[in-house]
Amino acid sequence: MAAEELAVPRHIAIVMDGNGRWAKKRFLPRFFGHKAGVDALVKVIEACIERDVQHLTVFAFSSENWKRSDDEVSALMGLILAAVSRYLHKLHRLGVRVRVIGDRDIAPKLKKAWDEAEALTAGNTKLQLNVAFNYGGRWDIVQAARRAAEAGVQAAEITEAKLSEFMALRHAPDPDLFIRTGGEVRISNFMLWQVAYSEFVFSDALWPDFCATQLDAAIACFRNRDRRFGGVKESA
């Protein structure tokens, strides 16, 4: 479908980057940037619901973010637990279905929080929220291949559609719009398989400053894109 036919992206993927720099600008420890980032995410979720976006996938913690200091990693884990207890019921009331994508082989407390969030919101249909946590695009492709092998899929049966059935985002269409905040122009191992034909928008806004205005600017950019998916426009 051409972008102009899609007034609002069905699926938006966001690399929420720039929390540390936001804090640094304010002479605050990085943690405060992450904390402000959680509040920004809740506002963006509300804005997506108002705009009828169906799926939102956000990069919260990458497979590579373990390289950060122990202090930052443990502060992030604590913040995630606090965010779940603070905002989960609000998201549930808003009709958000939460799914966590990524390697769950992590701290039991976090796994329990994710399981509870998914169970509570399993019946919601307003917005499908995928939180990518301990996630990497390469991890996803590898785990899909491994699970396909475990399920007895034979080499001759492996197609793009078959492998997609085993990917972490098998329940969602590919993202129409990929947004990265924080000014960096790279993917950083997010959704490598699914962004094959996404439209990319890079925003200089640091994630805690990203709000409905910037979301609308990104959607406006998306609407102006000419999506061809490898084909040729009839008018060309």
Near ligand IPE by CB under 6 A: residue from 6, 10, 21, 223: 21
Quickly list DSSP for the chain: --GGG-SS-SEEEEE---HHHHHHHTT--HHHHHHHHHHHHHHHHHHHHHTT--EEEEEEEETTGGGS-HHHHHHHHHHHHHHHHHHHHHHHHHTEEEEEES---S-HHHHHHHHHHHHHHTT--SEEEEEEEEE-HHHHHHHHHHHHHHTT--GGG--HHHHHTTSTTTTSPPPSEEEE-SS--S-TTSSTTTTTTPEEEE--S-GGG--HHHHHHHHHHHHH----TT---TT-
Which of 19, 39, 65, 140 is the catalytic position? 65
Q: Which does 61 bind (CB under 5 to 8 A by kind): Mg ion, ligand IPE, none?
A: ligand IPE
Decide whether 17 or 140 has the Cβ nearer to ligand IPE: 17
Residues 150-209 that bind ligand IPE (CB under 6 A): 182, 184, 186, 188
Near Mg ion by CB under 5 A: residue from 9, 11, 17, 191: 17
Decide whether 75 or 148 has the Cβ nearer to ligand IPE: 75
Decide whether 69 or 224 has the Cβ nearer to ligand IPE: 69
Site string for ligand IPE, 62-81 (x = CB under 6 A): x--x----------x-----
Q: Among all residues, which ones are annotated catalytic?
A: 17, 65
Residue ranges that bind Mg ion, judged by CB under 5 A: 17
